[in-house]
Structure 1
Amino acid sequence: MSTPLEVEPGASAAQPEAILKGAGKIEGRSLWQISWMRLKRDKVALAGGAFVAFLVVVAILAPLLCKLLGVTPNDFHQDLVDPSLQTPIGKWGGISADHPLGIEPVNGRDIFARIVYGARISLLIAFLATLVSVVIGTVMGVVAGYFGGWVDTLISRVMDIFLAFPLLLFALALVGALPDKLLGIQGDALRVALVIFIIGFFSWPYIGRIIRGQTLSLREREFVDAARSLGARRPYILFTELLPNLIAPILVYATLLIPTNVLFEAGLSYLGVGIRPPTASWGDMLSIAANWYQVDPMYMVPPGLAIFLTVLAFNLFGDGLRDALDPRSR
């Protein structure tokens, strides 16, 4: 038998209320606060998010930055180009105080101005195309996962058809078949809308399959059964019970889908079916650099590095966000 605890004479046993009285109020934390605490500990993800924020600010302030430096994206500076070699005069691609990243071969357009203006095009298309695919994919995935049966079968087969579609070939054929003016839209606006449509409308099955799988799991949870037992209708269950629990995977996959769309837009512009010159685009800059790589290899570095750092930053931030919102995925 254990020896009974001895209490000194004159001392009384402390009551639990007395112990907790001086402990102070214990404040609870929401799931989003806990996720933010996890994300703050991931310095690599924070660095990626900071670079993404910096890139967005640079893209928004592109006209102001170019005005401060006295450069424009489409002005020619042929006096700075060697007339015989058609390459920038001087070393390192014509880098100078007036042109911090140098100039293009042949026409001498400023690379810095075209990089920051190209960021506007790439991020605009990537964000809007991601928004389109996320909205369509979320709606179709939730409907397929919740209703099941023939609805799930029909939507799943549609997803399979879209996933098997040769997207790049379709983009090449569609751009060649469309006129220069459509529905009152023409020029750069038409090309931007076309690229957003192609990327957003044909990439929604990727996120749709993920949301469908999450919905299949959530619809069997106790809180959904409780809502049904209280007489909740299907729209209420979909938008009030299921959708808030799907925000985390939607955010994570959206951050990982954006760099994919940046690469796809650059690829279309590289092939000549994206944004038309002289509008600045990273893919178009790489296309020009490929033709002048042997005589001016430095011209390939700025647009290539811009695409590399942008995709890397989004991927690092997306991985960190996934670990913060769902630590069991590690």
Structure 2
Amino acid sequence: MTPPLETTDSTAEVPPEVTLTGASQKAIEGRSLSQIAWSRLKRDKVAIAGGVVVILLILVAICAPLIVKVIGHPPNDFNYEQVDPDTSLPYGSVGGISWDFPFGVEPINGRDLFSRTVYGAQVSLLIAFLATLLSVAIGVVMGTIAGFFGGWVDAVISRLMDIFLAFPLLLFALALVGAMPDELIGLRGYWLRVAIIVFVIGFFNWPYIGRIVRGQAMVLREREFVDAARSLGARSGYILAKELLPNLLAPILVYSTLLIPTNILFEAALSFLGVGVPPPTATWGGMLNQATKWYTVDPEFMFPPGLAIFVTVLAFNLFGDGLRDALDPRGRR
């Protein structure tokens, strides 16, 4: 005969040696996707450094007038006293660098390279951000519609993407900018040229992000939460706005950070070829164009704009790569 089972008293005192460590502390809380992404991004020191440089560049562009007022001279003022009248080159052996002109001066006219480099950040970042915003807006709309609806809608939009991708963008930009009148829809001079460049870059670059969004939308439309929304009677517009777009924010944000440096380089290329923002407005590409004419006798002239483009593009690329790794759901937590 088996002995009766012993009953245990649930109210008995638990020995201290078996008490869980930390039981009296605050309960463990779950983390949102944004918190997980931020914790990953913080561990990537290279990406954080790139993000800090990006923020500093934006602040420099915004505060350019104040910076030039404290350090430097007006960007379009001629300082002939800094240039040798016989050779048209800056005094000194390093491009006229001094306490008053930390980056040196231009040959012939003596304009301050530091001030022009700082003001050039305004033009480059303004055009790059506006063009990226236009490309992202068009690409997201077209890519989401193509990926969600499929069929003939997807076929038409995909062929349209192929046409835009095969378009000779640089040649078109050269022809369009050169053929534009001096005034259009109330714009002239600087703002007319900026509007044209933003339109050319933004309108013809949307297929790159459109293809990425289309591929992601084709995957998301087969997910369970989309089927659940359909079963509840949700319309296509509601599913696109409330179900698909929130899940597309991560790839859109990552690709946008990688598209900005591409647009900066494209704007610099147009200014280098002489069809960018008209002079005397300071642009990095225009400064490089002028520097090539004096490379053999004044090579220091090309360093400020060249390094500005290099540092800006590198910072955006490093930050974009780190952001992509942080937002990757398959990454390690």
What is the TM-score when the length of structure 2 is the normalising length?
0.93
Q: CA deviation at 1:28?
A: 1.1
Instruction: Count residues in correspondence.
Output: 320
Q: CA deviation at 1:264?
A: 0.3
Quick one: which of 118, 121, 124 aligns to 2:123? 121
Name the CA shift for 1:281/1:18 in 2 (closer, same or farther; >3 Å): closer
Q: CA deviation at 1:18?
A: 8.1
Tell me if structure 1 keeps the 8 A contact 2:84–2:90: yes
Name the CA shift for 1:159/1:329 in 2 (closer, same or farther; >3 Å): farther
Q: Which amino acid aligns with 1:67?
A: K
Q: CA deviation at 1:22?
A: 2.7
Q: CA deviation at 1:43?
A: 0.2
- What is the DSSP-based 3-state SS (H/G/I as helix, E as strand, rest coil) of the residue aligned with 1:92? coil
Name the CA shift for 1:102/1:145 in 2 (closer, same or farther; >3 Å): same
Quick one: which of 215, 218, 230 aligns to 1:213? 215
Quick one: which of 61, 68, 71 aligns to 1:69? 71
The 2-side partners of 1:19 and 1:44 are apart by: 37
The 1-side partners of 2:21 and 2:78 are apart by: 78
Q: Which amino acid aligns with 2:186?
A: G
Structure with greater helix share of residues = 1
The 2-side partners of 1:17 and 1:160 are apart by: 66
**Moved beyond 2 Å, runs of 4+:** 10-14, 16-24, 327-330
Quick one: which of 172, 186, 205 aligns to 1:170? 172
- What is the DSSP-based 3-state SS (H/G/I as helix, E as strand, rest coil) of the residue aligned with 1:191? helix
The 1-side partners of 2:21 and 2:66 are apart by: 61
Q: Report what 2:301 is aligned to.
A: 299
The residue correspondences of 1:194-213 to structure 2 (distance < 5 A) are 194-213=196-215
Which stretch shows the higher mean deviation, 132-141 or 20-29?
A: 20-29
The residue correspondences of 1:32-51 to structure 2 (distance < 5 A) are 32-51=34-53
Quick one: which of 76, 79, 82 aligns to 1:80? 82
Q: Report what 2:257 is aligned to.
A: 255
Q: CA deviation at 1:297?
A: 0.3
Q: Report what 1:147 is aligned to.
A: 149
Q: CA deviation at 1:25?
A: 1.4
The 1-side partners of 2:294 and 2:22 are apart by: 75
The percent identity for this pair of structures is 68
User: Once the two structures are superposed, what CA deviation does each residue of 1:89-112 show, in whole Å capped at 9, x if it has no partner?
Assistant: 112110111111100011110000
Tell me if structure 1 keeps the 8 A contact 2:72–2:114: no
Name the CA shift for 1:285/1:12 in 2 (closer, same or farther; >3 Å): closer
Quick one: which of 306, 310, 313 aligns to 2:312? 310
What is the TM-score when the length of structure 1 is the normalising length?
0.94
Q: Report what 1:222 is aligned to.
A: 224
Q: CA deviation at 1:85?
A: 1.3
Quick one: which of 246, 264, 267 aligns to 2:266? 264
- What is the DSSP-based 3-state SS (H/G/I as helix, E as strand, rest coil) of the residue aligned with 1:39? helix
Q: CA deviation at 1:171?
A: 0.5
The 2-side partners of 1:303 and 1:222 are apart by: 51
Name the CA shift for 1:185/1:43 in 2 (closer, same or farther; >3 Å): same
Q: Report what 1:290 is aligned to.
A: 292
Tell me if structure 1 keeps the 8 A contact 2:72–2:112: no
Which stretch shows the higher mean deviation, 126-135 or 21-30?
A: 21-30
